[in-house]
Amino acid sequence: MENLYNHHFHISKRSRQELHGHNSFVLWFTGLSGSGKSTIANLVEKKLHVSGHSTYILDGDNIRKGINNNLDFTEEDRKENVRRVAEISKLFVDAGIIVLTSVISPFQADRESARKKVENNEFIEIYIKCPIEECEKRDPKGLYKKARSGLINGFTGINSPYEEPLNPELTINSMKRTPEECAEVIINYLKDNQYIRL
């Protein structure tokens, strides 16, 4: 943008990572409402935290109550919601912190845009896969019921599409595994690929 310039500071991302004692990256949880994203992200964060990793969760609902409280659920606002979460994630990575984002993020193009905000090895897309029938059966927030009755327009999976990830780092079926097992799959992936050392 015109008249805007990047300022360069003495403390680098690498310096912050060294202070924290580990690399920083994004765990991007995507999937339908009710698939278990937030529950699994919470368990993963707990495991990372107790092992000495600096972490933070950006949860879709919580973000929408704060910095994104001016956004609706139109396609345009959904895209802006994901864009802002991606920008915040980038800041956390630059701060040397492992950030776990739990957002439906229904559109492939928006998730790819989020990936490009950070370096190649700093974005791990985790598709929490769960059939919509199961998500609707769980319906922990009663949102599917409201969508079916016409109280919510543009609800992902009902009257707004969810585009499955084309090539995520991890696809985990939360109908076939417990949340604890799902979290363990993620922790093992991070260990096996040398993102963390436990």
Please identify every residue annotated as catalytic: 105
| d(C-alpha 123, C-alpha 119), whole Å | 7
Q: Does 33 appear as a known binding residue?
A: yes
Q: Consult the annotation and say whether 150 binds a ligand.
A: no
36 labeled part of a ligand binding site? yes
Ligand-binding site membership of 37 (annotated): yes
Polymer length in residues for the chain: 198
Question: In 3-state terms, what secondary structure has residue 16?
Answer: helix
Residue 24, marked binder: no
d(CA 5, CA 58): 28
Q: Identify the DSSP state of 71.
A: -
34 is in an annotated binding site: yes
- The encoded tokens of residue 50 equal 């107790």
Assess contact for 82 and 105: CB atoms under 8 A.
Answer: yes
Annotated binding residue at 35? yes
Buried b (16+ CB within 10 A) or exposed e, 98-116: bbbbbbbbbbeebbeebbe
Say whether 157 counts as a known binding-site residue. Answer: no
Binding residues for ATP: 31-38
| Residue numbering of the annotated binding site | 31-38
